[in-house]
Amino acid sequence: MQKKYFLGLDQGTTGTTALLFDEKWNQVSVGYQEITQFYPNPGLVEHNGEELVESLLKATEQALKNINANANEIKCIGLDNQGETIILWDKKTGKPVYPAIVWQDRRTAAEVDELNKTHAELFYSRTGLKLDSFFGATKIRWVLKNIPETKELLKQHRLAAGTLDTWFIWKLTGGKEFVTDCVTAGRTCLMNVDKLCWDKEILDLLEIPIEILPEIRENATLFGTTEPDDFLGAAIPITGSIVDQQAALLGQGCNKYGDIKTTYGTGSFMLMNTGETRQKSDAGLLSTLALVHNGKPSYALDGGIYIAGAAVNWLKNGLKIIETAQQADELARSVKDNGGVYFVTAFSGLAAPYWDSYARGTMVGITGGCTKAHIARATLEATAYQVKDIFDIISSDSKTSIQSMRADGGSTASKFLMQFQADLLGIPVEIPVISETTGLGAAFLAALGIGEISSLEEMSKLWKRKAVYEPRMSEDERMFLIDSWHRAVERAKRWAIDE
């Protein structure tokens, strides 16, 4: 009897992961393909769109090869994507007109400042998001205004614009499907989050023609079938699509009000499920879609950190003081404290709750006794401090007493970071058996879309805990550290703007 597998494709900022699950939801194989980040100028971050598509194929091929399987044994594909990264292309040739502009990119920060002076409330009320260069709207506008080729393609009705899910589905289906999912569309700052459609007033304001944008569909439905010539010789239904962080929310089984998870990847992102309530935040968090299923939307409070694991990569590739991420963990644990060193890792500005595109990375408290161990510790601590900032706001905005937090992503391998996080939060931090919960959530969604999973409740029951970190720090020490962190943040804010 031929085996069948569910495929979760997690396309992230630094690489693409392909996860294969058997019919009992055991993770049986994983494939990974690193991708290139391009930094043409300070504050600018880009990907090669063709390389991204190739990474999907190579990661899947590797995952299949590991278990001597073939693509025809895949039941369905679930896809999660970076969400805020955008790309524009020629529908006739299939070629991008410009590299993909990554969510970390800050090129439109000044334009966003001007728009927020007069239209901040419009964007927040319609989209649930605070307009920021983080999101796709002004990135799309930038390409339209700065790449001459787009004007001629518009006249010929050949121009397409979308988030990465749209680009991948279009490419994998041989150009047959030009679609996006509700949650990813909601990360552009162009979709009306209540009506679940493109917002005409916002599109007109930004001079973005609706004809270049894809059709919006629910998250667990048929998005198309892969063209054998474009996907390893197999025709496979793509039945799930969602943003990476909402995929992780599903993969962590956080499907009821008050459930909360944080993903520790290149950046770090906390989401709390608020059910059918689109709960507004007065303190800088986002009110975002979590899922649209059977015509019913569910929402989440959302706080993001631009730089988390990326700061550890900087220690490795920039400063060259470590060779592996594990070494950062070992160095951090080799010293009794941070030696008074605080590192605000604002390489691409600060996200929630500060929303300062002009903040820059700042290290304070350095003395003659500072070593690379203190710097490694301060780097890991920086992620935990920022997660704590967001956690406090979510707790306040939701008026919910959160009893525990589920954590996932590559940095959960750092025992130091996870224990320090539990200490700062004052609640247990739970780690799942399957740490790649973004890809797991995408695969769950595909199974839901094809009827292999019957409900979100069934999905939640599949979650399993591997480890738990209990808080053990005193309240006095916690408050001292947090106060010192906030003083360091003040020194980093608006560093890159001319006063």
What is the average pLDDT value for the chain, to the nearest integer?
94
Find the angle CA(218)-CA(102)-CA(486) to the nearest 5 degrees: 100
Q: Would you say residue 1 has pLDDT above 60?
A: no
CA distances from 479 to 200, 343, 425 (A): 47, 17, 11
pLDDT at res. 282: 75
Q: Greater confidence, 188 or 353?
A: 188
d(CA 217, CA 185): 9
- Amino acid 2: pLDDT: 66
pLDDT digits (tens, 9 = 90+) for 159-173: 999 999 999 999 999
Q: What is the pLDDT of residue 497?
A: 61
Q: Is residue 348 scored above 60 in pLDDT? A: yes
335 dihedral zone (left: phi>0; alpha: psi -120 to 50; beta)? beta
My answer on whether omega of the bond before 432 falls inside 30° of 0, hence cis, is no
User: What gap in Å lies between CA 8 and CA 493, rounded to an integer?
Assistant: 38
d(CA 345, CA 185): 28
Contact of 264 with 328, CB cutoff 8 Å: no
Share of the chain above pLDDT 90, in %: 85
> 96-125, pLDDT tens digit by residue?
999 999 998 999 999 999 999 999 999 989
pLDDT at position 496 is: 64
Residue 498 has pLDDT above 80, yes or no: no
Phi, psi of 119 (to 5 degrees): -130, 15
Question: Which pLDDT band, with edges at 50, 70 and 90, does 336 fall under?
Answer: very high
Identity of the residue numbered 310: A
The set of residues, in sequence order, having a beta carbon less than 8 Å from that of 234 and lying 6+ positions away, is 70, 71, 72, 74, 226, 228
pTM: 0.88
Which pLDDT score, from 0 to 100, does residue 130 have? 85
How long a stretch of residues is the chain?
A: 499
Q: How many CB atoms lie within 10 A of CB 404?
A: 16
Q: What does the pLDDT read at residue 401?
A: 86
Strand partners, 270: 262, 303
Domains and their CATH numbers in the chain: 5-244 (3.30.420.40)
Q: What sign results for the dihedral spanned by CA atoms 144, 148, 154, 159?
A: negative
Asked if the model's pLDDT at residue 27 lies above 90, the reply is yes
* CA 143 from centroid of its chain's CA atoms: 22
Instruction: Kindly state the percentage of the chain with pLDDT values over 70.
Output: 99
**What is the pLDDT at residue 499?**
44
Per residue, what are the HEC states of the chain? CCCCEEEEEEECCCEEEEEEECCCCCEEEEEEEECCCECCCCCCCEECHHHHHHHHHHHHHHHHHHCCCCHHHEEEEEEEECCCCEEEEECCCCCECCCEECCCCCCCHHHHHHHHHHHHHHHHHHHCCCCCCCCCHHHHHHHHHHCCHHHHHHHCCCEEEEEHHHHHHHHHCCCCCCEEEHHHHCCCCCEECCCCEECHHHHHHHCCCHHHCCEEECCCCCCEECCHHHCCCCCCEEEEEEEHHHHHHHHCCCCCCCCEEEEECCCEEEEEEEECCCCCCCCCCEEEEEEEECCEEEEEEEEEECCCHHHHHHHHHCCCCCCCHHHHHHHHHCCCCCCCCEEECCECEECCCCCECCCCCEEECCCCCCCHHHHHHHHHHHHHHHHHHHHHHHHHHHCCCCCCEEEECHHHHCHHHHHHHHHHHCCCEEEECCCCHHHHHHHHHHHHHHCCCCCHHHHHHCCCEEEEECCCCCHHHHHHHHHHHHHHHHHHCCCCCCC
**126 vs 285, 300, 357, CA distance in Å?**
15, 16, 22
Sign of CA dihedral 108, 150, 36, 137: positive
pLDDT band at 145 (very low <50, low <70, confident <90, very high): very high
Tally of CA atoms within 13 A in the half-sphere of 164 that contains its CB: 32
Q: In the prediction, which pLDDT does 398 show? A: 82
